[in-house]
Amino acid sequence: MSHLYTIKSISNLQSNPLLKHFSVDKLQVLQDQFATKTGVASLIIHPDGLPITKPSNFSRLCQLIRSTERGNANCMKSDAMIGKSDSHGPIIQPCLSGGLWDSGASIYHQNSHVASWLIGQVFNEAQVQKLDKMMLYGHTIGANMEEFSYAISFATVMSQHKFTCLSNILFVFNKQLSAFISGDGEQSLAENRQQLASLIEQHTTFSPLYEVWEQMHRFYEQSRVLRQIA
């Protein structure tokens, strides 16, 4: 996910319909909660790659990779791929830099792609058995190998099935965010909530995400009331 840690002036993003309904601070709360409750890294970006939020739960390994010129360039290419518009489902793939798994889901205002929510930086069960490949990559990009080896030990491990489930959960979250900012949030709320429940049934360790869902709904209601008053 994106190497950019500095958020540009909010004036550059004020035209984004997402921010007319959910402030950057509120998006940051949702993103932080999602990352904390699942153990993945997370970031919300503008379609051009500009970060809207600050990174949540970024791994030591990925920060180390981004500290090298070659690793950072590969991260940028990977970000562009998982952050592209796709209304049919999440984009799930290994990072083009470190090889950890990432995914991204698009947020739309009506039919216009206005943001992407990215998660990831996880090893799957197969990759854990092939850490020599990761170590070779560290050599290739010129990373400090002692630090690199140490950072690997802190990486989040998640089965491919579980990460795919989580990516689909993120997609449902973004469908609801898209509905909220497009004016039909209440109509789609029950259907999307049922889809969320069906996915969480597959991996009940994701049950805390119900709290994030309810928080998202509360933020929307607060914004709606304020817009009516204004």
- The per-residue pLDDT for 6 is 44
> Cα separation of 189 and 225, whole Å?
18
- The per-residue pLDDT for 97 is 86
Q: What pLDDT digit, counting tens, does each position of 111-134 carry?
A: 999 999 999 999 998 887 778 888
The tokens of 61 are what? 């390994």
Q: What pLDDT digit, counting tens, does each position of 79-103 carry?
A: 888 999 999 999 999 998 888 999 9
- Specify the DSSP element, H or E, that contains 106: strand 101-109
Q: What pLDDT digit, counting tens, does each position of 129-176 carry?
A: 778 888 999 999 999 999 999 999 888 999 999 999 999 999 999 999
- The per-residue pLDDT for 13 is 60
Q: pLDDT above 90 covers what percent of the chain?
A: 70
3-state secondary structure of 15: coil
pLDDT of 11 over the 60 cut? no
Q: pLDDT above 70 covers what percent of the chain?
A: 92
What confidence category does residue 75 fall into, taking pLDDT thresholds of 50, 70 and 90?
confident
Opening angle at CA 101, ends 50 and 195, nearest 5 = 85
pLDDT of 211 over the 70 cut? yes
- The per-residue pLDDT for 227 is 67
- The per-residue pLDDT for 2 is 43
> Cα separation of 6 and 185, whole Å?
31
Give me the mean pLDDT over the 195-215 stretch: 98
